[in-house]
Amino acid sequence: MFSIPKQNSTTKHLLRLSPLGVGLLILSLTGCSMAPEYQRPEAPIPSKFPAPEQPAKTPDATMPEDKATPDWQTYFSDPALQKILNDALANNRDLRIAAARVRASRAIYGIQRSDLFPDINVGAQGSRTHTPADLSYTGREVTSSSYQVSANLSIWELDFWGRIRSLEEAALQDYLSQESSQQAFKIALIAQVTNGYLNYRELDQRLVLAQKTLSSREESYRIFKRRFEMGVISELDLTQVETLVKQAQTLTIELEQLKENQLYDLSYLVGSQVQLKHVDSYFGEEAVFQPISPGLPSELLNNRPDILAAEHSLRSATANIGAARAAFFPSITLTGYAGTASAELDGLFASGSGAWSFAPSINLPIFNGGRNQSNLDLSKARQNEAVSNYEKTIQNAFKEVSISLSNQKWLKKQLKVLEDTLSIQQRRAHLAELRYKSGATPFLEVLDAERARLSAEQTLVTARRALSSSQVELYTAIGGGLTQKQEPPEPQKTGE
CB burial readout 352-371, b (16+ within 10 A) else e: ebbebeeeeeeeeeeeeeee
pLDDT at 43 over 90: no
Q: What is the mean pLDDT of residues 34-57?
A: 76
127-136 pLDDT, tens digit per residue, is 988 888 888 7
Whether pLDDT at 99 is above 90: yes
Q: Identify the pLDDT of residue 419.
A: 94
490 in a domain, yes or no? no
pLDDT of residue 294: 79
pLDDT tens across 438-483, in order? 888 888 888 889 899 999 999 999 999 999 999 999 999 988 876 5
27-31, 57-61, 218-222, 449-453: least confidently modelled range: 57-61
- Is the CB of residue 458 less than 8 Å from the CB of residue 276? no
pLDDT digits (tens, 9 = 90+) for 171-185: 999 999 999 999 999
Mean pLDDT to the nearest integer, 70-99: 91
Q: Do 471 and 339 belong together in one domain?
A: no
* 175, 489 contact by CB (below 8 A): yes
- Domain assignment of residue 349, given as a range: 119-158+332-363
- Structural domain includes residue 186: yes
What proportion of the chain, given as a percentage, has pLDDT over 70?
A: 86
pLDDT on residue 7? 40
In terms of domains, do 432 and 345 share one?
no
Residue 436 and residue 399 share a domain:
yes
| Residues 106 and 175 occupy one common structural domain | yes
Domain membership flag for residue 318: yes
* Residue 229 counted as domain residue: no
Asked whether residue 250 is assigned to any structural domain, the reply reads no
Q: Are residues 421 and 373 in the same domain?
A: yes
Task: Give domain status of residue 129, yes or no.
Answer: yes
Rounded to two decimals, the pTM is: 0.81
pLDDT at 9: 43
In order of 186, 269, 346, 354, the CA distances from 276 in angstroms are: 22, 15, 79, 77
Q: Are residues 278 and 352 in the same domain?
A: no
pLDDT category of residue 140 using cuts at 50, 70 and 90: confident
Q: What pLDDT sits at residue 31?
A: 62
pLDDT tens, residue by residue, 230-288:
988 888 889 988 998 999 999 999 999 999 999 999 999 999 999 998 887 788 767 67
In a domain, 414, yes or no: yes
- Residue 60 reports pLDDT greater than 60: no
Task: Looking at the structure, tell me whether residues 146 and 284 fall in a common domain.
Answer: no
- Asked if residue 122 has pLDDT above 60, the reply is yes
Long-range CB pairs of 75-82 (<8 Å, 24+ gap) are 75/289, 75/290, 75/292, 75/475, 75/481, 76/190, 76/194, 76/289, 78/197, 78/288, 80/197, 80/276, 80/277, 81/194, 81/197
Is 410 part of any domain? yes
Domain boundary among 363, 378, 405: 363
- Judge if 189 and 281 occupy the same domain: yes
So what's the pLDDT on residue 133?
82
Number of domains comprising the chain: 2
Tens digit of each residue's pLDDT (9 = 90 or more) over 416-429:
999 999 999 999 99
Query: Mean of the per-residue pLDDT values for the chain?
Result: 85
Identify whether residues 430 and 472 lie together within a single domain: yes
- 145 shares its domain with 288: no
Residues 195 and 184: their CA atoms lie apart, in Å, by: 17
What confidence score (pLDDT) does residue 495 get? Answer: 40
Residues 286 and 142 in one domain: no
Residue 345's domain is classified under what CATH number? 2.20.200.10
Quick one: pLDDT at residue 484?
52
Give the pLDDT band (50/70/90) at residue 487: low
Q: The CATH number of the domain where 280 resides is what?
A: 1.20.1600.10
pLDDT band for position 494 (50/70/90)?
Answer: very low
**pLDDT of 2 over the 50 cut:** no
Angle between helices 79-91 and 235-270 (to 10 degrees): 50
pLDDT interval class at 215 (50, 70, 90): very high
Q: Are residues 389 and 280 in the same domain?
A: yes
Q: How long, in residues, is the chain?
A: 496
Res 328 pLDDT > 80:
yes
More confident residue, 383 or 495: 383
- 304 in Cβ contact with 481 (< 8 Å): no
Lowest model confidence (mean pLDDT) among 106-115, 118-127, 241-250, 296-305: 296-305
The pLDDT value given to residue 15 = 38
